[in-house]
């Protein structure tokens, strides 16, 4: 019975279990110091965006950003 409870808890609450399993100092980003991108780098990236592509996780179309 305990095994089924654990299985169903993980199945029905995947975010809670995943968040609880993540350690705060885990992963490569926390071990590296990243520099902020420069204004020129950001402009170059925006200039190179291709039109008619799907929106990313932020749901912004490249055309909106570029224009």
Question: Average of pLDDT values for 16-43?
Answer: 69
Q: What is the pTM of this model?
A: 0.43
Mean model confidence pLDDT for the chain: 77
Most confident of 7-11, 18-22, 38-42: 38-42
Asked whether the predicted pLDDT for residue 66 surpasses 70, the reply is: yes
Buried b (16+ CB within 10 A) or exposed e, 33-54: eeeeeeeeeeeeeeeeeeeeee
Domain ranges of the chain: 39-67
Asked whether the predicted pLDDT for residue 6 surpasses 60, the reply is: yes
């Amino acid at each position: 019975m305990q095994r089924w409870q654990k299985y169903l808890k993980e199945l029905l609450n995947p975010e809670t279990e995943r968040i609880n399993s993540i350690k705060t100092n885990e992963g490569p980003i926390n071990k590296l110091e990243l520099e902020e991108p420069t204004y020129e780098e950001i402009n170059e990236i925006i200039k190179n965006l291709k039109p008619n592509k799907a929106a990313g996780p932020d749901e912004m179309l490249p055309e909106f950003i570029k224009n």
